[in-house]
Chains A and B, each alone.
Chain A
Amino acid sequence: MQLPNKIKNYSNSVCEQIRWKKAHEVIGEEIENHIIDQKDGFIKKGLDEETSIDKAILEMGDPITVGAQLDRTHRPKAQWSMILLTLLMLGMGLVIKLLFTNNLNTPRVIPYSIISAVIGIGFMLAAYFIDFTILVKHHKKIFIALTIIEIMLLMFSPKVNGCKIYVNYILLLFPTAYAGIIYGVRNKGYGGIIQCYLFFVIPLLIGIAAPAGSGNYFYGIICFILLIIAISKNWFNIKTKTGLLIAFTPVIVFIIYFIALTMRRVYFELDGYMNVIVRNIISHAQFIGGVDVSTYGKDIAPFLDTNFLLTHLIGRIGWISFVVMMIVIAIFIAYGFYLCQKQKSILGKLVSTSVMACFTLQVVCFTANNLGFPIFVMLPGLPLISYGNIALIINMSLIGIMLSVFKSGDAVRDKLSSNKFRSSKFMEIIDGKLVIDIGVK
């Protein structure tokens, strides 16, 4: 229905006073709706349409004053604490690399880490300032573009320990893209869930073909978490219990497979070369103070200062280093999830949860590996801290997207009008009036 110009002009005048442009749409719509309700109220009392509109606008009060008052409330939330925690972890990583990297084993770690940290900050800032709702506007294009990159990497990526590592890294981006896919199938019922599964399977198959190692499991776990969130919020407009049953059936199969695989891996890796060193260091470590390096092979075990950074530090400095790092990471994770659950829009919730879940899974698996429980051999690393240039840039980009959600999530609403509540009928009777919808907004 076309909105009268007077109403539109009033809401525009209010919005002009609000400096945060992202909030304009939500506020403008609420004010316009109010004036329409008020106008309809006056019409019911016997006034004509034009007088009712004028009177309804007058009832609203001065648009400049109203706008100025709303401006005080509506500001983007920068979430400085999360930004500072991110930079703290990045800084911690650089200092640790600078002090404890074995330059003889890995001479390029420090210069490469500095370059990737700078690039990572650039990517984080770019993602922070880009409107995250592009994940919805171009959800299929983004998903397809990532799939094409994965297929290319499947062909050309080098193999490390039998895994195509670059395929593994890109898989970390897929859950966030998948949030856009779930968002795009609102109210599409069981068909929507099937569509989600079809999209889900594509990267999974590429991951299996690679093989991609841990990335595949991270992707699977996070996508199911997102799907369950969406179903529990009635996103597909189906019975929640049935929806959860549909979503959980493959989850249970996946969990059984995952446990079986993990047990098999842990069984084989438990007595593996690296794990024996790891367990040796852990068993000799003190709370404060280093152990004699000769107890674990003169510091020369491969990847000890990169893939086993936590073990390395526990050995060199003591458990205190582990405790300090875990406290910082735990605060980041706890506060991050707290902000995720506070997101009002499903989009904000799905996107931010995908990033936090990805971060947390990386931390949990890396920590388990470093404490002598080798769940996965090929891991992206301890996010932002351990050595891994591409993983660092990817994680920084994801955190940038999440910070963008926290910053402007309040101004994002799940669109009801365009899908569910926008009438699909060309012609219908509303309040005794014949309404013809030609589909023009």
Chain B
Amino acid sequence: MAIDKSLISGSTTMLILTLLDGKDMYGYQMIEELSVQSNDAFLLKAGTLYPLLHALEQQEMVTSYDDNADSTRVRKYYSLTKKGKRLLGDKKSEWRAYTKAVNHVLEGGACFATT
């Protein structure tokens, strides 16, 4: 099931950082991997991914290096930095607090609402 864009956009950075936490990847691989891991729920556009990746690189959250794709092409791989790992930790905590609050509301609000 494809998910509303506005829901994804807020968590794209966290998703990208999570992917890179596992292993170094190049842009196309990230989109494919995200699609596979989310059962096609997250279909990230390259036009969204690259500006975000480049901004993260400038903020030193990720770093990049070149490696060979085949005999004629060179691929740019991205790797998570220590600073990026810390950001990922913060984003995850933020996300957990957010989803907990949303679930709480969805499940009928705080316990005193029932009293």
Contact = CB atoms under 8 A, between A and B. Distances in A.
Interface of A: 1, 26-27, 29-31, 33-34, 36-38, 41, 59-62, 65-66, 69-70, 72-74, 344, 413-414, 416-417, 420-423, 425, 428, 430-431, 435, 437
B66 to A, nearest CB: 5
Contacts of A423: 71-72
Contact of A416 (B46, B48, B55, B68): B68
B74 interface: yes
Given A33-B73, A38-B46, A59-B46, A70 B51 contact: yes
B60 to A, nearest CB: 9
Contact of B50 (A70, A72, A414): A70
Nearest to B49: A34
Most chain A C-beta atoms within 10 Å of own C-beta, residue among B32, B68, B72: B72
Given A69-B51, A422-B72, A414 B46 contact: no
Contacts of B108: none
23 contacts: A31-B46, A33-B69, A33-B75, A34-B28, A34-B50, A37-B28, A66-B46, A66-B50, A66-B51, A70-B50, A70-B51, A72-B51, A73-B51, A74-B54, A344-B64, A413-B66, A416-B67, A417-B72, A421-B72, A421-B73, A423-B72, A425-B71, A437-B72
A37 B64 CA distance: 18
Nearest to A413: B66
A431 B69 CA distance: 12
Contacts of A36: 73
Interface in B34-88: 45-48, 50-51, 54-55, 58, 63-76
Given A38-B28, A73-B55, A344-B64, A66 B47 contact: yes
Given A36-B73, A344-B64, A30 B55 contact: no
Contacts of A26: 76
B68 A420 contact: yes
A413 B48 CA distance: 23
Contact of B45 (A61, A70, A74, A430): A61
Contacts of A59: 45-46
Given A69-B51, A73-B58, A421 B28 contact: no
Contacts of B28: 33-34, 37-38, 41
Interface of B: 26-28, 32, 45-48, 50-51, 54-55, 58, 63-76
B47 A65 contact: yes
A14 to B, nearest CB: 9
B68 A62 contact: no
B74 A421 contact: yes
Given A61-B45, A61-B47, A70-B50, A414 B72 contact: no
Contact of A30 (B50, B68, B72): B50
Given A60-B47, A61-B47, 19 more contacts: A1-B73, A27-B50, A27-B54, A33-B28, A33-B73, A33-B74, A34-B28, A34-B46, A60-B45, A61-B46, A69-B51, A73-B51, A414-B66, A416-B68, A417-B74, A421-B72, A423-B71, A428-B71, A430-B72
Contacts of B54: 27, 70, 73-74
Nearest to B29: A37
A74 B70 CA distance: 28
Contacts of A74: 54
A72 B74 CA distance: 25
A26 B27 CA distance: 14
Contacts of B50: 27, 30-31, 34, 66, 70
Nearest to A75: B58
A420 to B, nearest CB: 7
B46 A417 contact: no
A373 to B, nearest CB: 40
A431 to B, nearest CB: 8
A203 B54 CA distance: 42
Contacts of A31: 46, 50
Contacts of B71: 421-423, 425, 428, 430, 435, 437
Given A33-B73, A34-B28, A38-B28, A421 B47 contact: no
B69 A41 contact: no
Contacts of B73: 1, 33, 36, 417, 421
